[in-house]
Homo-oligomer: A and B are copies of this chain.
Amino acid sequence: METVNLAQKLSLFSDHWHPRIVGELNGQQVKIVKVQGEFVWHRHADEDELFLVLRGRLTIQFRDGDFLLREGEFLIVPRGVEHRPVAEEEAHVLLMEPASTRNTGDVGGERTVEEPERL
């Protein structure tokens, strides 16, 4: 067992849209990611995904409207629902999702991180 300090783990990297694994339980992974700018539209066929904002603001765009998340707020994106995360300024986000989840979902492409590292 290990106490995980989120701020300390976030201090270990500075790149954007590159999630790192900081915990695993019950087949799920806890990841942290720094984001800025626009990601790609994608969906996860079989995985619900939780976004909890630790710092800054994160917009999750959907085809029928947007959700703005502030620090201390989370949103669960159900499986199959197309979405795109966007952040005007850098934001720090905690993710909870199954270990099978790929960051770019069904879309893939150059922004895919196939095997996120563990911090």
Contacts and interface: CB of A to CB of B under 8 A. Distances in A.
Interface in A1-42: 1-7, 23-28, 30
Given A96-B96, A97-B26, A4 B73 contact: yes
Chain A contact residues, majority secondary structure: strand
Interface in A69-85: 69-70, 72-78, 81
Contacts of A62: 1
Contact of A78 (B1, B49, B96): B1
Nearest to A79: B26
Interface of A: 1-7, 23-28, 30, 47-50, 54, 62, 67-70, 72-78, 81, 96-98
